[in-house]
Structure 1
Amino acid sequence: MNDGVKYAIIDVETTGMGIQGNKITEIAILVHNGKQVVDEFHSLVNPESSIPYAITRLTGIDDYMVADAPKFYEIAKEIIEFTSDCIFVAHNVNFDYNVIHKEFADLGFPFKRKKLCTVRLSRKLIPGLPSYSLGKLCANVGIPLHDRHRAMGDTRATAMLFDKLLNLDNDRKVFNSFLKQGSRHATLPPGLAKEVFDQLPEKTGVYYFRNEKDEIIYVGKAVNIKKRVLSHFYDKKNREVSLCQQTTNITFEITGSELIALLLESEEIKKYYPLYNRAQRRNNEGFAVFSYEDRSGLMHLAWNNLKSAPNPICKFYNSTESRLFLERICEKFELCPKYCHLQSNVNSCFHYQIKKCKGVCRGEESVASYNKRVKEAIEYMSNDSKSYLIKQRGRNREELAFVLIENGIYQGFGFIDSDQQIASLDQLKEFLIMKKDNRDIQKILRGFRNKNEDKFVLLETESGFII
């Protein structure tokens, strides 16, 4: 069946696996008219940068081979001509398309073509195979694959696969659905079924990217799960591209509350240690906020390396985090930045001029009065003995959520029907999903409290209360 549509089946070899900074070393194009290949183009390309040894081992292309090859701008016109009025086809199309798009963008040219992915088409038209990588797919369906990881070898195999897919979709129903304007097929990772993306909710919660072994490789939180997941697919950073290429499934858990999403995300990262999560996998703090008293009896707050901090009040992962926290404490309790070691080499602090310091640095406030607020700040930071309930929005309109902090220790969160009356802490705990406390959790709770003090309800555990 020849429907008048032309396809440019393309493969590129590059200097690396990502998009940013990745340069083409070889390109092959086969123009297909819907029945057969009618034209072809092939060239090595001088990337104007060195080819990593690992890439040479994979492709066989080294710096010597491309030294006299044309640079991309020298063959750009031919690539435009060969792909003009064609649908751009590739196995994992987003990779090849984005690399070529980036090369043209560097030349100031807006390269834009409709796209078809033979991985996604194969998953739809040849379902149930154990793998859809080009090598294993070709072996499963009987397509010879020569010169693997060379542009023309992979392109010829992709063209034979394309012929098979065309024959399986004789009425072009699947092809046309993939090309339909507004279709997500060209945007989604090659290994991810559109049905998986379609069932993602536009609600607050935690989402999990999984690979073909069903291993969790990334955990994230979002106010709108579907929108946030989609943003990963559009991100062209090398790390995001690699993440999406390995993703074959996405699962999720709705939390209703952004705070609970943050808490759950932190816990899950420590539980699964996902490959693509960097933040919150750390376990050791290196800095701390502490207090000391000078010769005049005035109490100071300061931060330093944990080993040099006597009796640390709060622990942090870096000095920036420590300083920012102390800045908020200084402002909240109207402390003097000079004696919080936020302003140095000054006789009196700048905050006095804007009426945020009561003048202890000018002798206008007594040491006793100032120290009283410092002690209140230390108690606030320590928070060792108080119990709090944080009321949150539930996962639906018929539900309320809560976070429980007992004696300064995070206990977990839970969900309750909105018409349920709770008269005691023991009754509340029947709905509690127990979780572990740690420094990252405490950091999340401190950050939330700095902006939402009114949502922390102090619990008098000896007397009843109602939620």
Structure 2
Amino acid sequence: MYAIVDIETTGSHPAQNGITEIAIVLHNGTEVEGRYETLINPGYPIPSFITYLTGISNDTVASAPSFSQVAQHIHNLLSNRIFIAHNVNFDYTFIRHHLQENGYHWLPKKLCTLKLSRKAFPGLAKYGLGHLCQVLEIPVVNRHRAGGDADATAILFQKILKEGGEKIIKDFLKKDNHEQILPPNLPKESIQKLPYVPGVYYFHNAKGKIIYVGKAKNLKKRVLSHFTGLNTGKKRQEFLRNIYEVSFTECPTEFTAFILESIEIKKYWPEYNFSQKHAEQFYGIYLFEDNAGFLRLAIDKKRKHTEPVASFTLLGDAHRALWKMVKQFELHPALCFLQKQLYIPATINSELYNEKVREAVNFLQQNMGTFAIIEAPATGNQKSCVLVENGKFYGMGLLPHDNESFDPVHLKTYLTAYPENEMIRTLVKSYAQKNTEKLVKVN
């Protein structure tokens, strides 16, 4: 017994978006035996690009029921059926999230017609629903609407069944059963809820405290990999016995998962995370004016509530940068605390000298760079953005897919600011150097 489903939404993340339309085709393994379709008022504004894609606008759903009004009926239709969708985890995470918000517990077995199609029809160039419909001559009415896509997916499922699909389905359902490898105190529901997307995962102990934070390109696969190793050592077994729950935060890309992992380790200081748990020693070049009216540059350890002209992980890097400024802009080493000299020559004019210092600071900050790292997310059609401002990691978030402005003020309306640390600074710098095609100069 199967439920073949398609939904339309206001965006890609269920916690911050709503469902605008749902269609459910009930299938008994031989033929279609029922169908349900309805528009839903999502409770969120529908972005213009979604309206352009689907034709569903705020006016379209103004008089439609809310999800809570149809949740019971949806739950009844889906219960005791294998859940099927094309790119199933997108539809599944949305429906599960909104059912859970309305008090309905739902953890079905799932099948993805995209993955099934790879087995049933190997060798195709692409396995998107549109391409499969074209290659397999599946008629589609109302493409990018829940009803049209669900009906097309149902026909695709029929074709998969005819291509030895029953065996393929059995194999896939076996792969989804990981209960036998789980730690003794971790319920299978914790694993079943994990999506196949990038993100950060958290292991909790019996009291709910976070004891380990990790990052993943694929959350479910990475979490399961913790339980499949052959290490039977005392420390590992103790670690496994202390895992009572797994929670997670989805990330648009693997790169943003790396960044968030570092942020969360510094925030929670988990018991079983051993890397990144050390006192960081940042250095900065600071600018100040002395009693004689001279602008002076000095290297010092970074401290809270102070903002240096530039930050460095290593003291040697800070010294090299400052000496370069001294030579290039003819600054006095003693005024930069690079030489011990009690008296500054009276021939130095403070106004002219201060202008050189300002030029040197501007040059340094411009060279450190203000740019964005833009990537396509694992799911959805928005843009992942990591902003670096004057060489310093500012934050990250998702931009609309049609965003064309890269003004910092505009970008920051979509981004979450995070504290920078040594690991993030090194990671962002390395990633930017290796992926120059993903860099966008910020105005």
Q: TM-score range by the shorter chain?
A: 0.3 to 0.5
Larger Rg: 1
